[in-house]
Structure 1
Amino acid sequence: MSDNVTIRRVGANEAAACVEALADVLIDCVEGGASVSFMLPISRDTAIAFWRNVAQSVARGERALLIAEDRDGSIVGTVQLIIAQPENQPHRADVAKMLVHRRARRQGVAHALMSELDRLAREEKKSVLVLDTVTGGDAERLYQRAGWQRVGSVPNYALMPDGALCATTFYCKQL
């Protein structure tokens, strides 16, 4: 990864303060075609509301939020570890919203976020991680290189931001 990016966990107060910058990253990703639960056109209000809810979830201890910042301190990427799980799954966590701004892609940001996510998951005493991604997308290569195991895919699972159906592939990782 480039020495120009810093990965760090943010707490509840800082997460709330980062809402605007995180909304910029989310909007860029959706406008770039990423299937991350949002449709085009994505409004700024929608993106801000999403990140406010994430900040509240961080405050409740339900999830951890990692951000990637460039040398200027601008947020260029993010990923979440959802640590609150059912009573019979205290050892598991979900990975959500791996997002890298298009201007920061192919610079090792996503790989650095995933490496720090692994470290954080171990710190949180999690031994099984799960995630899903668009089948055939760039993220699949990232996850496979990072040691994730493909579990299977579901055709027509979600919609791309433009409304087209897409398959979703599920991955797991044993730590």
Structure 2
Amino acid sequence: MNSDIEVRRLGANEAAASIDALADVLIDCVEGGASVSFMAPLARETALAFWKHVAGSVAANERILLVAEDTQGRIVGTVQIVTAQPENQPHRADVAKMLVSRAARRQGIGARLMQAVDKHALQAGKTLLVLDTVTGGDAERLYARAGWQRAGTVPDYALMPEGGLCATAFYYRPLDPARHQP
């Protein structure tokens, strides 16, 4: 695990100021074949618009944005905790857009981001997390190692960035505040 990587939460102003760097990570991941809601080639304008929306959602306290930065302060990974949920689900959050730049993979950054997800979700009063991911991908192995439980798979749920249907696995993770001290 790379101890030179800092994982931290971005506030609204920092999120807005980081849109370009976050777009770089998203574009890199889509170019690398990640099925994360976007098709290849991903236009920079589309990536920037997505992160502008995320920054607005951070400012509205609808989501938490976490980033992993290298020693030069470059964002090499990110994940979101969508805390805005329906009235009957105040205890739950969705984990979204777990992204690590291809050059920074296999250094434990994804695991560090997921540990930070647990901490920040608990601080936000969330005790159940859910996410979805491409079936059989590297992320699925990461989530299983981190203690996430697989709820099931939906075939032909989404398209891969270059086209072609892929199955999606759904995971959940109960958080026990007594075991996960923020």
TM-score (norm. length: structure 2):
0.96
CA distance in 2, matches of 1:164, 1:118: 33
- Deviation digits for residues 57-81 of structure 1, max 9, x if unmatched? 0000000000000001000000000
Matched with 1:26 is: 26
| SS of residue paired to 1:139 | helix
CA distance in 1, matches of 2:153, 2:72: 39
* Amino acid across the alignment from 1:88: N
Aligned-residue sequence identity (percent) comes to 69
Query: How far is 1:4 from its partner?
Result: 1.1
CA distance in 2, matches of 1:137, 1:22: 22
User: What is the correspondence of 1:18-167 to structure 2 with a 5 Å cutoff?
Assistant: 18-167=18-167
- Deviation digits for residues 72-116 of structure 1, max 9, x if unmatched? 100000000000100000000000000000000000100000001
CA distance in 1, matches of 2:36, 2:148: 19
| SS of residue paired to 2:129 | strand
- Deviation digits for residues 15-53 of structure 1, max 9, x if unmatched? 000000000000000000000000011010000000000
| SS of residue paired to 2:16 | helix
- Deviation digits for residues 146-166 of structure 1, max 9, x if unmatched? 000000000000000011100
CA distance in 2, matches of 1:19, 1:3: 25
- Unaligned 5+ runs, structure 1: none
CA distance in 2, matches of 1:111, 1:41: 28
Report the aligned-residue RMSD: 0.4
* Amino acid across the alignment from 2:103: R
Query: How far is 1:3 from its partner?
Result: 1.4
User: What is the correspondence of 1:6-17 to structure 2 with a 5 Å cutoff?
Assistant: 6-17=6-17
User: Structure 1: which 4+ aligned runs deviate by more than 3 Å?
Assistant: none
**Number of aligned residues:** 175
CA distance in 2, matches of 1:69, 1:128: 27
- Unaligned 5+ runs, structure 2: 176-182
Query: How far is 1:2 from its partner?
Result: 1.0
| SS of residue paired to 2:20 | helix
CA distance in 1, matches of 2:134, 2:26: 16
* Amino acid across the alignment from 1:58: V
